Amino acid sequence: MPADAPVAARRRAAKADALRQIGYTTPNSNWRNWYLTAARELDGMIDHSLAISINAPDQAAAMPGASFLEGLRFRVDPDLAGGVTTSAGFRITDTGETVGLTVRHGVVEATAAVPDDAAFVVELPKLVVEAMVFRDLHGALAQAVEAGHATFTTGTADDAKAFFAVFDAVPTGHVTLSDR
């Protein structure tokens, strides 16, 4: 046990008590739930083994493929992408959608056209886009190319790997609210 463990435990308990007191007096039900759940998390009372993975294939099927790629703007790692300027193009063959993604200084811009300076352009079906976004950006694309389900019309798999390196991986663990 680290030497500062008792101090950290006391601080966690104090924070949990404070959150619980705020939660008890907050009239807003959403905030009350957050405060009380965060307090339970700090107390170690959340059983993450009971968590379920909510997948809604019907909702994913109804969404445009472009929406999945546009959502990558929330997964860019600003530290990795801070000094980077690069672009990529995606042609979603079964929906007829075209998406351009440009990473510039930690910000991702999505457009409805392939950028002129795209490091790579890939043609792929929507299912491959979904696999990329929900599993592994580069890995799912590489598997699809190897299986003949996706094709680079410009650039290479290495260009795609470099592009996707500035994005966060899909989280695999549970998300904590206040467990710090």
Q: Is residue 179 part of a domain?
A: no
- The CATH number for 78's domain is 3.30.1050.10
CB 165 within 8 A of CB 80: yes
Question: What is the tens place of the pLDDT at every residue in 136-166?
Answer: 999 999 999 999 999 999 999 999 999 999 9
Give the model's pLDDT for residue 122: 98
Quote the domain boundaries for residue 145: 57-164
Q: Which two tokens stand for residue 9?
A: 């435990």
Give the model's pLDDT for residue 30: 95
* Environment class of 97 (CB within 10 Å of its CB; exposed 0-12, middle 13-18, buried 19+): middle
In what order do the strands lie in the sheet containing 97-104? 107-111, 97-104, 85-92, 120-124, 151-154
Question: What is the tens place of the pLDDT at every residue in 105-144?
Answer: 999 999 999 999 999 999 999 999 999 998 899 999 999 9
